[in-house]
Chain A
C-alpha cells in the first residue's frame, strides 16, 4: 500500500500542495480555515516536543496537532 505524503510529514521549511483530506469531520474545519485542495502550505516549525506544528497557509500561521496534520494529504 502506497502511503501518500501528508502535511504531518513535512520538515521545517518544506512546501506542499494540499490534495485531499482523510477525515471528513476535520476537513470541514480545515476548509473554513482556508486549507483548500490546491492550496500551498509551508511547514514552519514544530513545538519543542514535536507536537503541535505551525504551518503557513496563504500568508497566515495555523497551529494544528500532528495527528490532524496527518489527515491532510499532499499532491505527489
Chain B
C-alpha cells in the first residue's frame, strides 16, 4: 500500500460508449475486479501510469444513461457520485461519450457537469461518427459545455496519451451550470444552497430528491430531462459539421435483415449455440484431461516419494486433488467466456435478446438466459457466472436457480454406466437405439424441469423491480481481442479465488471422512482383509484393492452411507449407493470412482466394463435377484438428473447471489425433487 493518496479518476458513460475499452487502454493488466458492497455489480478498478510517472487510480463505473437510477447498475453510480463521503468518490470524472450518438450521451455528461464535479469529456468513437458523416466543432463544444473535450478512439488507443496528459494537470470546475434547475424547485434549492454555498443547484436538487424532500419528484425529473435535452439539441445542431457518410448504418441494418430474420435468425442463433456447446464439450476435454493427468500423477508421486504419514496423505489425497478439482473447470470457463465476450463485443448479444425475449419471458426468464442454460449442458459453473449479463434481478435469480437442472457433462459418465447396466442394447422400430433414447430422455427431463421450475418461480417470486425491456441495439463492431482476453482472465481469476477456496475446503472435509473411520478398522485394514481371505493365492494389486475397499467400507463416509440407507431405501438404493451419493457431492463423476473402489476394482483403472460387470453381479439379499434392476437403475438416473450434488455449483451460486439463501434453496428444492421423482420412478418400474 502506498502512503501517498493517489488521485482517483472515475469513468462514467452510457452502455456501449466504449468505456470498457478506454478502461482497458488506461490500465492494461493492472486491473482488479471486485464487487460493489452488497450488490452483484462488477467493480473494476485499476492503476494507470501517466507520462510523468504519476500513478492514478481508475474506477470503471457501470454503464448508465442518467443520474436518475433505473437499474442496480445505475443505482451504484448514483450512490457513489452523490455522496462526497463515499470511499470511491472520485477526484476527477472522465465522461465517455459516443460521438456517433452525441445527443443521448450528452444527457449524462451535462448532469455530471452540473453536479459541480471536475469533468473531462472523452469524445469516443469519433471514427464511427466519421463514417456516418457526423463531425463536431470541438472548440465550440468545449466552450459551451465548460469542460475539456478530448477526442479518442479507445478501440485502437487513439487519444489515450492526450487524455493521460490532461489527467496530469489539475482538472478544475469551470463555468456555471449547463442547465440551471433552480426554477424546478425554487424554495428548497435556495434554502439548501444557503446552508451549502459551495454546492451547485443540481447537486442540491439531487440531494433533496434522495432525501425525499422534493414533492412530485417524478414530474421534476421529467421536466429536468426534457428541458435539458432541449438545450442539448440546440447545442448539437450548432456544433454539427456534416461530412460525407460512408453508410456504416446501412451496413449494420443489412446484417440485421439476415441475423434477425424469422427463419435465418434462429438458424444462425442455433448454429452459434451448437458451436459453443461443441467447443465447451470437445475442445475443453483435451486440456481438462491434461490437468486431470498432471494432478493424479502429482498426487501419486507425492504418495510414493514423501515419508508416509497423515501430512503426506492430506497433501496427496486431499489438497492436491482439491486444487486439481478447481483448475479442471478453467478450460470450460475460458472457452465459454471467450464466446460470450465475442458475442457481447460484436453487438450480437443484443440480437439474441431481441430474438428470444418473447419465448423466454413466458417462463420468467430473459432473452439472455439462453446462453447460460445452453452452457449448463457443459457445466453449471461458467453458466451461472454468465448470468451477470442479465440486468433484471428476478430474471437473473431464476436463471441461476434453474441452470443446474440442465444435465451437465459430469452427469454423463454416471448416465453412461447406469444405462449400460440396466438398459438393453436393442433397437426400437429397427432404428432407435434404446440406450440412446434413454440418454436423450434424461437430457430432456432436465430441460423440462428447467422450464417448469422457472415458470413456478416467476409466479412465486415477488419483486418491486418492474420487468421492462428498453435497450439500445448497438451497431455491429469488430471485437477487440484485448477486451476478449481481459474478460477471460477476469472470469478465470474470479472463479479460482472465490469459488476455489470453498471447493478446496469441502474436498478436504470429504477426504477426511473417506479416510478416517471409527475404531481401529482403518488402521488394521490389511490384517482384517488378510484374515478373511481363505485363498492365499492373490496378487498384490488384488490385495490393495480389497484393502482400499475395506477401508472405504469402514470410513465415516460409509457410516454416513449406512446412516442414510433407511432414507434412500424407498428409492431402491442400498448403503453402497449411499456412499456414492455422499462422495458425489465433490463432483458427480466421482460416482464412478467410488463405485469402483467399493467393488474393489481400483487397479482396473476405472474401466467401465469391469465396473459394470461387478455392479451387475451384486445380488440383492432379500430377493436373491441381481441388485441393479431396471427400477433401481432408472431411479438412480432420475436422482442424478435432479439432485443438487455439486459443491462447486453451490460455491458459485453463493458467490453470485451474495449469500447462502439461494444455494440453500437450490439444495432443498433440487434434492427434494430428486427424492420424490426417484421414489415415483422406482415404484413405477418395480
Contacts and interface: CB of A to CB of B under 8 A. Distances in A.
A14 interface: no
Contacts of A27: 222
Nearest to A62: B472
Contacts of A36: 225-226, 229-230
A68 B470 CA distance: 8
A52 B101 contact: no
Given A31-B226, A33-B65, A37-B226, A49 B468 contact: no
A57 to B, nearest CB: 8
A31 B225 contact: yes
B468 A63 contact: no
Contact of A52 (B266, B354, B475): B354
Contact of A63 (B70, B253, B350): B350
Contacts of A63: 350, 353-354, 469-473
B2 to A, nearest CB: 39
A74 B101 CA distance: 23
Contact of B261 (A24, A48, A52): A48
B66 interface: yes
A32 B647 CA distance: 43
Interface in B253-269: 253, 256-257, 260-263, 265-266
A59 B248 CA distance: 12
A54 interface: yes
Interface stretch (B36-44, B329-337, B355-363, B510-518): B355-363
Contacts of A48: 260-263, 265-266, 355
- Interface-central residue, A25, A47, A65, A68, by most chain B CB under 10 Å: A47
A57 B470 CA distance: 12
A32 B106 CA distance: 11
A29 interface: yes
A28 B256 contact: no
B354 A60 contact: no
Contacts of B257: 45
Contacts of A37: 226
- Interface-central residue, A25, A49, A52, A64, by most chain B CB under 10 Å: A52
B357 A32 contact: no
A63 B16 CA distance: 14
A6 B29 CA distance: 49
Given A33-B104, A47-B260, A63-B350, A28 B471 contact: no
A65 B471 CA distance: 10
A32 B68 contact: yes
Contacts, number: 104
Nearest to A57: B104
B335 to A, nearest CB: 28
Interface of B: 65-66, 68, 70, 100-101, 103-104, 107, 132, 218, 221-222, 225-226, 229-230, 249, 253, 256-257, 260-263, 265-266, 350, 353-355, 357-359, 466, 468-475
Contacts of B132: 59
A60 B104 contact: yes
Closest 3 CB pairs of A and B: A48-B262, A61-B473, A32-B66
A17 B261 CA distance: 27
A29 B355 CA distance: 22
Contacts of A31: 222, 225-226, 229
> What is the size category of the interface that chain A forms with chain B?
20 to 34
B471 A68 contact: no
Given A28-B222, A47-B260, A52 B469 contact: yes
A30 B229 CA distance: 12
Nearest to A24: B218
A61 B472 contact: yes
A75 interface: no
A65 B427 CA distance: 48
A48 B257 CA distance: 11
A4 interface: no
B468 A34 contact: no
B473 A47 contact: no
Contact of A49 (B70, B358, B466, B470): B358
A49 B218 contact: no
* Interface of A (DSSP majority class): mixed
B226 A26 contact: no
Nearest to B252: A61
Contacts of A60: 101, 104, 472
Contacts of A52: 354, 357-358, 469
A24 B221 CA distance: 11
Interface in A1-38: 24-34, 36-37
A61 B226 CA distance: 20
Nearest to A71: B468
A33 to B, nearest CB: 6
A26 B468 contact: yes
Contact of A34 (B103, B261, B265, B353): B103
Contacts of A32: 65-66, 68, 70, 107, 225
A48 to B, nearest CB: 4
Contacts of B359: 49
A29 B465 CA distance: 13
A37 B227 CA distance: 11
Contacts of A54: 256, 260, 354, 473
B246 to A, nearest CB: 15
Contacts of B473: 54, 61-63
Given A33-B104, A52-B469, A28 B358 contact: no
Nearest to B350: A63
Contacts of B466: 25
Contacts of B355: 47-48
Contact of B218 (A28, A50, A62): A28
A29 B466 CA distance: 12
Contacts of A29: 70, 468, 470
- Interface-central residue, A29, A31, A50, by most chain B CB under 10 Å: A31
B256 A45 contact: yes
A45 B354 CA distance: 11
B589 to A, nearest CB: 39
12 contacts: A25-B466, A26-B468, A26-B470, A28-B70, A28-B221, A31-B229, A47-B357, A48-B261, A52-B469, A59-B249, A63-B470, A63-B471
Nearest to B354: A47
A13 to B, nearest CB: 12
A46 to B, nearest CB: 9
A52 B66 CA distance: 23
Contact of B469 (A25, A30, A44, A64): A64
A14 B68 CA distance: 32
- Interface-central residue, B107, B253, B470, by most chain A CB under 10 Å: B470
A45 B350 contact: no
